Structure 1
C-alpha cells in the first residue's frame, strides 16, 4: 500500500486486521506521513490537503493504540504525549559549535574577503567562492541522526557541551524523525526559532491566562526548548533551518554516494534538503564584495517582512578543504564572518540617570527610561557606558532620546532628539564617592571605579555570583538571588564568609529549606580545594578571564608565587601586557583583598598548585605546538572534549575533519570513516595508549 501518492483513506476495519497486516499498514502510513512532512516543511510543496493528512495521522494513532507492540519512539505520532524528563542532562557536541566574529561595516567585510583571497595562495585564480546566509536570531542546536533515525539533540551551551533537549526536539514537526538517503551517522547544526506570527498568538494566549508575555521570539523558543515536560512544547509554533555540518560518517559508500563528505558548503546546502532537513530559501552564492553588499541590503530591506527574526548576514568560504586549512580561533572560525544589520531604534523620555556599581568596581551610568518597545522588547533602562559618553551625547533627565538595541540585544541611547523651547535639566556628573560603600572613586581613563574591591558590598553580590559560577569554583545553588540574600541579611561580608555558613542560617532564608541548605553547605565545602586556574578566575581580578587565569596559573605555578610577582615578571609572560600586569599587581596590593584571601585559607581553603613539577610546565605546554589532531570513536579514559583540551593545553589543535593538514588521527572504540580517510591520506593513526604516551612526552 502506498500513502505517498494519491493516498486512499478507505481503510479496512481495525478489528479485521492481523498483527502482520497492521504492521504492514503502520510502516506504509509512517512512510507516507514522513513523505508529506518533507514536502510540507522542507520543500514547501504540499501534495495533499490538511484533511487527508489528518486522516492518515488519525489512522496511524488508532493502529498503534490497538497494536501496542508496533509503537516506535520515532513514529510521527510520538510528537505528542511524551513523558517529562527529570532534568536537562549535559551532552558533549560532536564538533565545536563556535561563535561568529561580527562586524558592522563594509570595510571590515572587504578586509575579510581580501584575506580569504590571499590565503588561497593564488591571487590570479579568480574570485574566492562564498556562500551567503541570513544570520538567524534563534536558538542554535545540534541534531544527531544515527542510521537515518533521529538520535538526540542539544543546545549550543558553551560551544563544547550543551543541554540535552531531545525530548523537546521530538515535538517540533520541522525536525524529521527519519531522513531520506541518509548517511550512517550525521550531526548538523540548526537554528530553532519561533515565527513572528506564532509568537504573537502565543503571547496573546499567555496574557489571557494572566502569565507574563515572552519578551521576544528568541526567548520564547529558548524557554520552550528548555522545558522538562515535552507536552508544553507539543503543538507550539516552532520551526528550524539547518545550516552547518558537524560530523558525517557515510559508512561503506561509493565516492559518488550522497552520504560522502560534501566538498563545498554550497553542495552541503543542496544535500540537506535531499536528506530531509530544512534549509533557508534565502541562501545564496557570491564571489565578491559587490555581491555581499547587494545581499546585505536586500535582506535588511526584507527584514521586517520576514516571518522570522534575522539580525544580519553570514559570509562563509565555500571550499570546505580550505576551511580546514584556515582553522579556527578560540571562539570563532577564520572562514566565516557575520555582517550585522544596523540596530532597530525608537524614541522615548529619559527620566533619570543613576549609577550602577559592577562586580569589578566600574561605575556605569544607567538611563532610566519611560518604557518603550524596541524590536519586540520592552526597554526601560539603557547603558550610557561612562561619563565621557554621557558628556558626548549630552543627555539629561527629561530629554527625548533615541534608543537602539546594540547587536539587537543591549539597549543603548543613540542620540538626543531636539525639542525646541525645552528647558533642560543640569548636566549629569559622576559621584565622587561610591554610592554604596562611600569609598572615594578613582578614575582609570574613561572609567570611574570604586577601589574597595572585595570589601564593597555593591561588588560583593557580583563577586559571590562569579566566585560560585561553573567556570570558577562551581558551587551549585549559589546564584545571584541567594548571594543577594546572604549580603542583605548580613551573613556574608566578604568571600571568606561563605565557608563558615551553617545550615540553620541558610534554612531561614527565603526559598530555602533543610535540604537546600544542606546541599549548599556541602557544595561550598567541596570548593575548599580549587585549582589555581579556577581560583584566580573566581577572584574576579579585572581583565583576568578564564584564558588569562590559565596563563597565570601555568606560568607562576602557585598562588604565593603570583602574589609575590612584580610587574617585570608579569610583563615577561606571553599574552600579558602592561594593563593586565597593572591590574594583577593592584589586586594583590590591595590590603582588603589580601585579608580576604588569608581568611579563606584560615577557613580551610587550599589552592592547589598548577602542577606537581613546575619546571616542566612551560615545556609541556608547547610539546604539541603546530600539530593537528582528529579524534574518532569512543576513548576509554577521555571524553572527546577532555582529549581536545589536552591537545590544546600543549599548544596543539583539534579539528573535526581529516585533511592533508592533519598530523594525527586518534582512534577509539568503533572508529568511523575518519580512520579510513587517514589511511588513504597516509596520516599517522594512534590508539589511546599511544596518544597518552604522546601527551606525556616532553
Structure 2
C-alpha cells in the first residue's frame, strides 16, 4: 500500500480513538492496541519525512518558540456582565423582559418569542479561541483584550480533546472554549514530585502561555467548548442547535448544560450547581445564563462592554490567601504523624477557616512551605472538608522554618520516616494510636458497637486501662457504672451493644481489625473466598493475589498482619470471649435474567426505603456486581439523595443513572 495512503488511514483511525477516549470518555481499544498503531504512524512519518496536519503525533509538543504572535479575532470575544447576588440576576432578567416587550410593541408583525434560558458552568481556566478553515485547525489564541489575542496554536494542539480536523468544511469558523487542568491531573502531577503547581487555574494558564509546547503537553490539559463566535456558511436558530453543531464536530461539550422556560427554574438550577460544585473534577467560579434564541440575542445586542443577552453569576470563592501561623503534629491509628496547619482566620466558601491540612513532610517540601511560617499562602476548600494549603504566594523562603519532629509528640518515641511520611512505631504504648484503633474497631462498618465514640475510647483508656480492642469484651457493669458521666442506663446500653457485636460476620470483623492497606470491599472479598478466619490467617500472599483487586502490597500487608504474635494473641482472646467472626452464609442462587444481570452497579447518596447494604444485597442476588467507584466499566449508577462526585462522574461518562428510588424498587421487584 502507498505509504501516504497508510498514513492517512492511521491518522483517521487514531483520531477516532482519541475522540472516544478524551472527549467521550468511552475508549474503543486498549492502550496497547492504540500504541501499536501510533508507533506504526511514527515510523511512516520518519520514513517519508511527511507529517499530516491532523496527525496525533503533533500533540507531544514541538520546538521551543521565540515568542507569541498577535492574532486578531474574526469577531470580538465579549466579556460578561457579572451578577454578584440573586437581586442582580433578577434585575438583569427584568431588563431582558422589558427590552423584549418594547421590541414586540414596536414590531407586532414579527414579535420575539418569550425568553427561554440556558445555564452553563463558568469554568475557571483560560479562554481559547480556535480557528478552523475547511475543517482544519489553523490557529488558536488566547482571549487577550477581546479583539487581539496571542497565537498559541502549538500549545493548543497538545490538548487531546481539541480536534485537529472537523467534519464541517463549509468555510472558516471560530470556536470558543476554556482550557482547564482537571483537579485529579493536578493532584497526580504534584504527587509525582515534579515542580509543584499551586492551583489548577494557574497551571492551565501557565501551560498554555508557555513558549515550550512540551511543557503544555506534560500538563495533560483538557478543554470544554461552548460557543461558535464566527461562522461562514452556517447559522443557528438557537443555542441548542449550536451545541449540537459542536458535538457533531467532535468538540468536547460539558454535560451540565440545562435549558429552562422560566427564570425561577434558572434560580433553582444555580442552587443545584453550587451544591454540585465541590464534587466536580475541575474548577468553576460561577455559572453563565444566556438567552437561547439567536434572533433575540441580535435584537438585545451589546453595551460598550457586554452582551445584554447573557450574564455571569459568580459563586463564593473556594480559594483565597491567608497567613500560616504554626504547624502541629497529630498521631493517627497506624502511627502516621500528620501535620496540621494553623492559619490566620479567614472567610472561605461561607465558613471561617482556622485549620488546614498538610498531608505529610513530602507535601511540605513539594509546596515550598519549609520556610513559610508567618508568610501568606494559598488555601482551597472543597466538599465541606478541611481546607488544604496549596503553596506560598511568593517563591522566596522568607518565613520561619517548619521544624519536623524527631520524636512522637504523644509518647516521645523516636520517629521513622517511610517515604513522605513520619511514623511512630510505638504501637502498644502510644495513646492516640490505641484510642484510634479501638474507635475504628467499634465503628459502624466494623463491629458496629452503638453509642461508642472516640471520647468513650479515651475514657476507657484513661480510667479502665483498656489497651486493645479485645479488652472491650472483658468490661463489666461494675467497671462502667463508676465512671464519670456513665449512669446505669449508659453502662447497660454499652454492654448490650458490645455483646451484640460478638455476632458480627467475618468480613466486618476483618475490617474492624484495621489491617493496613485493606478496606471494606477487600475484607468482604477475602471473607467470601476463604470462608473462615483460620483459613485467612494462614493464607499465603500467592493465594491472596489470585483474588480480584488484591495486589502484592495488600497481600503482603494481610500476611504480615496475621503473622504478628501480638495480633494473633488479641484475636484468640476475642474468640475465647465469644466473638464469632461468623463465615458468610452460602450465597443464594444468582438470577441471570433480571434487569441487573451482568451489570456493574455503583450505589451513591442516601436511600430512604432501603439501606445501602440492603440495596447492594438485592442487586447482587439479581446478578449485579456492586462496586464502590465509577469508571468506564460501570454500567449503572443508583443515586440517592445528596449524591456527589460519583453521580457527577457518571453523567460526564454518559453512564445510565437511576435517581428515583421508587423506580429502583420496581426494578428490584421485577
State the TM-score, normalizing by the size of structure 1.
0.45
State the TM-score, normalizing by the size of structure 2.
0.46
